């Protein structure tokens, strides 16, 4: 046997498939990964500190920049936390609109995540563009409601900023009609692809126990076989009114996470269908009008206390923790970012696989650096 030497390669911070400025210090023996250390912090923007300086209303705008793929869900979680602390009632119609927007962002995120994942695997753009076509349609909807495609800034304390117009309802329904066709096409194109199966099955296996020990959430833990979803474990908003299934994988490999994401898009579509059906019967306005009128007179001051709220972001459990001392901005503000915590399991997932697998495994976790570094 020839004597071989371990080689350390820095994948990143500038690298095509690290999903942002992120560095992986990989120690490799030939092409096999011996050790892998994620290094992050290149995109730190003082998010939590800003949240303690800015007023509550201003902070909504920077929650968009956390996980910039699904700003709607970020806002949803933040607004819920503030509403919990300030005991602001949310009308039924507003809740429906929030759920619709959240599920649309989940589809948006998963479509893009699968596209990026396949791009990392080397399928050269076609699949990414397939995902992006759906993403584009949803972003048109977001642009109509929020005024911006990615940084929507749409949710407010007590509801949402604008009501859904009949035109928009039609646009959403149109999207929902075309969506099953997309996902069927995508499955036919990719799900049984021989190379994809070879690349992803039994790669990056995260066993059930390890997944729980690392407290990973989202599609990663569901891919490992634990049916943990905040929408079911601790139903927030009006998620207890909808019928939907939680897909789980059986092995915990990269392919399972892919299947889970595909199935979650179908389930989101199911929720959206129900929500759109029930929306006309929902009582109340798009925002708590009494609170809206009161907040025009004076800015929001939360009573002293603390609150933690969590929502199921497409990446996992997204939690907001706010401590108030009675002022008009948070005294302490903290975020449990799913991307960051899912990333901690990366070393265990990658060890023993090859350099080519690193990017595939990283893509299957689906991180957004804006959320990891905050």
By CB under 8 A, name the binding residues for another protein.
Answer: 7, 9, 15-17, 31, 118-126, 128-130, 133, 189, 193, 195-199, 201-202, 222, 227, 245-251, 253, 255-256, 259-260, 263, 354-359
319: left (phi over 0), alpha (psi -120 to 50) or beta: beta
Q: What letter would DSSP give residue 354?
A: B
CB 93 within 8 A of CB 279: yes
Enter the tokens of residue 269.
């579509």
Helix (H, G, I), strand (E, B) or coil at 10: strand
Please, which residue, 17 or 109, has the CB nearer to another protein? Answer: 17
Closest CA to 38 of 347, 348, 367, 355: 347
Please, which residue, 80 or 254, has the CB nearer to another protein? Answer: 254
Please, which residue, 72 or 113, has the CB nearer to another protein? Answer: 113
Please state, in angstroms and rounded to a whole number, the distance separating the CA atoms of residues 219 and 264. 9
Q: How far is the CB of 315 from another protein (least distance, A)?
A: 18
Please state, in angstroms and rounded to a whole number, the distance separating the CA atoms of residues 372 and 21. 11
Please, which residue, 133 or 208, has the CB nearer to another protein? Answer: 133
Contacts of 105 (CB under 8 A, 6+ apart): 69, 70, 71, 72, 73, 138, 142, 314
Q: How far is the CB of 359 from another protein (least distance, A)?
A: 5
Measured CA distances, 93 to 76, 162, 164, 237 (Å): 14, 12, 10, 11
Beta partners for 201? none
Q: How far is the CB of 26 from another protein (least distance, A)?
A: 10
Q: How far is the CB of 142 from another protein (least distance, A)?
A: 20
Q: Determine the Cα angle at 295 with ends 290 and 301, to 5°.
A: 120
Please, which residue, 43 or 246, has the CB nearer to another protein? Answer: 246
Please state, in angstroms and rounded to a whole number, the distance separating the CA atoms of residues 352 and 93. 51
Please state, in angstroms and rounded to a whole number, the distance separating the CA atoms of residues 123 and 363. 13
Q: How far is the CB of 314 from another protein (least distance, A)?
A: 16
Please, which residue, 238 or 355, has the CB nearer to another protein? Answer: 355
Measured CA distances, 200 to 115, 249, 314, 364 (Å): 14, 13, 21, 10
Q: What letter would DSSP give residue 309?
A: E
Q: How far is the CB of 231 from another protein (least distance, A)?
A: 12
Q: How far is the CB of 117 from another protein (least distance, A)?
A: 10
Please state, in angstroms and rounded to a whole number, the distance separating the CA atoms of residues 264 and 119. 20
Please, which residue, 31 or 170, has the CB nearer to another protein? Answer: 31
Q: How far is the CB of 134 from another protein (least distance, A)?
A: 11
Please, which residue, 83 or 120, has the CB nearer to another protein? Answer: 120
Element (H, E) at 37: strand 32-39
Please, which residue, 26 or 141, has the CB nearer to another protein? Answer: 26
Q: How far is the CB of 5 from another protein (least distance, A)?
A: 12
């Amino acid at each position: 046997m020839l004597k071989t030497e371990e080689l350390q390669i820095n994948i990143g911070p500038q690298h095509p498939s690290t999903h942002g400025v992120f560095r992986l210090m990989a120690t490799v023996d030939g092409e096999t990964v011996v050790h892998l250390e994620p290094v992050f912090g290149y995109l730190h923007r003082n998010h939590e500190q800003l949240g303690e300086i800015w007023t509550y209303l201003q902070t909504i705008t920077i929650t968009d920049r956390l996980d910039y793929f699904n700003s709607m869900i970020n806002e949803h979680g933040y607004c819920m936390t503030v509403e919990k602390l300030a005991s602001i009632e949310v009308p039924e119609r507003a809740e429906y609109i929030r759920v619709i927007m959240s599920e649309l962002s989940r589809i948006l995120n998963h479509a893009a995540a699968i596209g990026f994942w396949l791009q990392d695997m080397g399928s050269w753009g076609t699949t990414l563009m397939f995902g992006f076509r759906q993403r584009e349609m949803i972003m048109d909807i977001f642009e109509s409601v929020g005024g911006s495609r990615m940084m929507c800034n749409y949710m407010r304390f007590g509801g949402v900023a604008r009501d859904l117009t009949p035109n928009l309802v039609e646009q959403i329904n149109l999207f929902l009609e075309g969506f099953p066709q997309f996902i069927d096409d995508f499955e036919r194109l990719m799900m049984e692809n021989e190379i994809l199966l070879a690349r992803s099955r039994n790669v990056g296996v995260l066993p059930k126990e390890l997944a729980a020990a690392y407290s990973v959430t989202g599609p990663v833990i569901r891919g490992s076989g634990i049916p943990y979803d905040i929408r079911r474990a601790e139903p927030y908003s009006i998620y207890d009114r909808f019928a939907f299934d939680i897909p789980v994988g059986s092995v915990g490999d990269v392919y399972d996470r892919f299947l889970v994401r595909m199935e979650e898009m179908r389930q989101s579509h199911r929720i959206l269908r129900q929500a759109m059906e029930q929306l006309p019967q929902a009582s109340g306005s798009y925002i708590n009008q009494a609170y809206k009128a009161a907040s025009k007179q004076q800015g929001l001051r939360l009573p002293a206390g603390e609150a933690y709220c969590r929502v199921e972001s497409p990446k996992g459990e997204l939690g907001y923790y706010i401590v108030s001392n009675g002022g008009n901005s948070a005294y302490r503000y903290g975020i449990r970012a799913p991307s960051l915590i899912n990333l901690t399991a990366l070393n265990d997932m990658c060890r023993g696989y090859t350099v080519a697998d690193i990017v595939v495994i990283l893509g299957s976790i689906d991180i957004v650096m804006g959320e990891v570094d905050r």
